Amino acid sequence: MTLTLTPAALELDTQYVLPTYARAPFVLTHGEGVYLYDAEDRRYLDLAAGIAVNALGYGDPALVAAISQQAARLIHVSNLYLTAPQAELAARLCALSFADKVFFCNSGAEANEAAIKLARKWVYANHPDAGKTGLVAFSNGFHGRTIGALSVTPRARYQDPFRPLLPDVTIVPFNDLDAAAQVIGPQTCAVLVEPVQGEGGVHVATPEFLRGLRALCDAHDAVLIFDEVQCGMGRTGTLWAHEASGVTPDIMTLAKPLAGGLPIGAALVNARIAAAIEIGDHGSTFGGGPLVASAANVVLARISDPAFLQHVVVVGAALRDGLAALRSPQIVQVRGRGLMIGVELAIPADDVVAAGYAHGLIMISAGPNVLRLVPPLILQQAHVDEALEKLGAILEDIGG
Ligand SMILES: *Cc1c(COP(=O)(O)O)cnc(C)c1O
């Protein structure tokens, strides 16, 4: 069989790939900076970054060089053997955060699975007879699609076809500290929260909420887990989204942008949690291998530079302010922080996403009425201007 890849790729996809995704109507072939190109050589300004993944955009020379050189040297050896890129990445992550140790895996869901397992292990090591099995998570939260992560992701469309899920999960309204206080108690093992919710509509946790959760976890000796899979790594203008609250978790999960587009996940833990973990407790064949770790070392070094983070703050504010200045009757609210922006619309977000393709703009939604803008963090002011012009035209076309 000879395969001509496009436009036949569309037909092959339809015939052979399990239809779990609603695909955009084009085949992407390459990217450069903040632009993507399709098989018909149309150019798109990318405000999605592969769902908040491609923080350094496309074709970053240092990232490409690190990946190419490491690929030629050593791609994979399993975690039975030590490789320097992983050890260096762990050291960097700890130096730049509250954490003392890191577990590496391959995705956000896996990082949250690890977090739940590590929390359980810690609880059984420290409260062996207490029946301390409860997990607390929040409305509009998203933690992934594996059974454990799905169990703390309260969306009927995602959960209902796959029951039974993990027991002892309680969902509390996001940002409602009083409700959390009624639920978090001696039976609580762990509390999972996104400091800025992504998939659920770009909702920012208030500092008081995160501080209150910290206090409740301390009072009841429960493990506080911050899921920074989407909002971490500079996305909100600080390296970690929780920095804005002044509190630290016991475990933080990372994934999406950490290796600049290669698959990686990480669970960062403090010394208290780490002390409960022994050889054999958890594992991953691929997790944190030399190829992805080499990429992540480049990405982390770049993003943790204060000047880079300041750029995210400035460009993010320009994009948010510009969206508000459109004064479109279709825009109900602009929210978010840094370059993690939610635009609540009076019309279906997917209509705007579809119209964006025709205007050379790639965007994603976060729920039915929220447009989510999570561009590469290297976005410049000129790109902000282009995005605002195109989005303004789209909103005018669609809604008047
Ligand atoms: C995307 C996401 C996940 C799941 O990550 P996968 O790599 O798709 O498994 C978990 N938590 C948050 C906050 C996310 O945005």
The per-residue pLDDT for range 181-214, each reduced to its tens digit, is: 999 999 999 999 999 999 999 999 999 999 999 9
pLDDT higher than 80, residue 7: no
If you average pLDDT over residues 147-172, what whole number do you get? 98
Of 21, 106, 143, 264, the one to substitute when testing ligand 1's pocket (max ligand atoms within 8 A of C-beta) is 143
294 touches 74 (CB < 8 A): no
Percent of the chain having pLDDT more than 70?
98
What are the φ and ψ backbone dihedral angles of 357, each rounded to 5 degrees? -60, -45
User: d(Cα 79, Cα 206) in Å, to the nearest integer?
Assistant: 39
The 3-state secondary structure of 266-333, one letter per residue: EEEECHHHHCCCCCCCCCCCCCCCHHHHHHHHHHHHHHCCHHHHHHHHHHHHHHHHHHHHCCCCCEEE
Of 54, 112, 230, 235, the one to substitute when testing ligand 1's pocket (max ligand atoms within 8 A of C-beta) is 230
Residue 314 has a pLDDT of 98
Contacts 24+ apart (CB under 8 A), 231-234: 231/194, 231/195, 231/196, 231/198, 231/340, 232/257, 233/55, 233/257, 233/258, 233/299, 233/300, 233/303, 234/55, 234/303, 234/304, 234/308, 234/309, 234/312, 234/338, 234/377
pLDDT higher than 90, residue 28: yes
* Ligand 1 geometric centre to CA of 116 (Å): 14
In sign, the C-alpha dihedral spanning 387, 393, 394, 396 is positive
Distances (CA, A) of 102 to 28, 69, 97, 137: 34, 25, 11, 23
Residue 207 has a pLDDT of 98
Residue spans of beta strands (DSSP E) within the chain: 28-32, 35-38, 43-46, 101-105, 134-138, 169-172, 188-193, 196-197, 203-204, 223-227, 251-254, 265-269, 331-337, 340-345, 361-362, 364-365, 370-373
User: d(Cα 227, Cα 192) in Å, to the nearest integer?
Assistant: 7
CA-231 nearest atom, ligand 1 = 13
Ligand 1 touching residue 141 (CB < 6 A): no
Ligand 1 touching residue 188 (CB < 6 A): no
**In this structure, which residue's CA is closest to atom 11 in ligand 1?**
143
CA-141 nearest atom, ligand 1 = 13
Model confidence band, residue 10 (pLDDT cutoffs 50, 70, 90)? confident
Q: Check: pTM over 0.85? Answer yes or no.
A: yes
Ligand 1 touching residue 199 (CB < 6 A): yes
User: d(Cα 231, Cα 347) in Å, to the nearest integer?
Assistant: 26
Percent of the chain having pLDDT more than 90?
96
pLDDT tens profile 370-397: 999 999 999 999 999 999 999 999 999 9
Amino acid at 207: P
* Cα of 240 vs its chain's centroid, Å: 12
* Ligand 1 geometric centre to CA of 228 (Å): 9
Question: Would you state the structure tokens that stand for residue 385, as one six-digit string?
Answer: 């201007």
pLDDT tens profile 169-185: 999 999 999 999 999 99
CA-198 nearest atom, ligand 1 = 15
189 touches 125 (CB < 8 A): no
Ligand 1 touching residue 108 (CB < 6 A): yes
pLDDT tens profile 322-379: 999 999 999 999 999 999 999 999 999 999 999 999 999 999 999 999 999 999 999 9
What are the φ and ψ backbone dihedral angles of 268, each rounded to 5 degrees? -95, 130
**In this structure, which residue's CA is closest to atom 6 in ligand 1?**
108
Query: Which of 124, 94, 143 is CA-nearest to residue 221?
Result: 124
Ligand 1 touching residue 198 (CB < 6 A): yes
Model confidence band, residue 165 (pLDDT cutoffs 50, 70, 90)? very high
Residue 8 has a pLDDT of 87
Question: Would you state the structure tokens that stand for residue 389, as one six-digit string?
Answer: 């012009």
Ligand 1 touching residue 212 (CB < 6 A): no
